[in-house]
Chains A and B, each alone.
Chain A
Amino acid sequence: MRKSSSGAGLRWHFGLPARPRLKPRLQAQACSTLLLAMIAAGCRQDMHDQPRYKPLAASEFFPDGRSARPIPAGTVAIDELQNTDPFYTGYTGNDPANFMDTIPTPITAELLQRGQERFDIFCSPCHDRLGTGHGMIERRGFKIPADLDSDRIRQAPPGYVFQVISNGYGAMPDHRDQIPAADRWAIVAYIRALQLSRSATVADVPAQNRSQLGVQ
Chain B
Amino acid sequence: MPQFFSRNANSVARLSLLGIVGAVGALACYGYWIQGSHYETRQGEPREQPVPFSHDHHVGGLGLDCRYCHTTVETSSFANIPATKICMNCHSQMWTVAAELEPVRQSYRTGKSIQWTRVHDLPDFVYFDHSVHVRKGIGCSTCHGRVDRMPLTWQAESLRMKWCLDCHRDPAQFVRPRDQVFNMAYTPPSDQLALGKQLVSEYRIISRTSCSTCHR
Contact = CB atoms under 8 A, between A and B. Distances in A.
Contacts of A177: 83, 85
B213 interface: no
B203 interface: no
A74 B62 CA distance: 39
Given A37-B27, A56-B81, A125-B62, A48 B68 contact: no
A47 B65 contact: no
A178 B124 contact: no
A122 interface: yes
Contacts of B68: 121-122, 125, 178
A78 interface: no
Nearest to A176: B85
B161 interface: no
B62 A15 contact: no
A196 interface: no
B54 to A, nearest CB: 14
Contacts of B78: 54-56
Contacts of A15: 19
Contacts of A141: 94
B57 to A, nearest CB: 10
Contact of B93 (A64, A120, A142): A142
Contact of A142 (B63, B90, B124): B90
A176 B158 CA distance: 37
B125 A47 contact: yes
The number of chain B residues touching the other chain, given as a range, is 35 or more
B88 interface: yes
Given A48-B125, A49-B124, A178-B71, A65 B94 contact: no
A66 interface: yes
A18 B85 CA distance: 66
Q: How large is the interface on A (under 10, 10 to 19, 20 to 34, 35 or more residues)?
A: 35 or more
Interface in B92-135: 92-94, 112-113, 115, 123-125
A212 interface: no
A143 interface: yes
Contacts of A23: 9, 12-13
Contacts of A197: none
Nearest to A46: B124
Given A26-B13, A122-B68, A143 B24 contact: no
A64 B63 contact: no
Contact of B92 (A48, A54, A125, A173): A173
Given A136-B62, A142-B93, A142-B94, A50 B124 contact: yes
B93 A171 contact: yes
B23 interface: yes
B67 interface: yes
Nearest to A126: B90
A33 B16 contact: no
22 contacts: A21-B6, A23-B12, A23-B13, A26-B13, A33-B20, A33-B23, A47-B123, A48-B123, A48-B124, A49-B123, A52-B124, A55-B80, A56-B81, A58-B115, A120-B65, A136-B63, A141-B94, A142-B90, A171-B93, A173-B85, A173-B89, A178-B71
Interface of B: 6, 9, 12-13, 16-17, 19-20, 23-24, 27, 62-65, 67-68, 71, 78, 80-81, 83, 85-86, 88-90, 92-94, 112-113, 115, 123-125
Given A50-B125, A173-B88, 12 more contacts: A15-B19, A26-B16, A33-B23, A37-B24, A48-B124, A49-B124, A54-B124, A121-B67, A125-B64, A140-B62, A178-B68, A178-B86
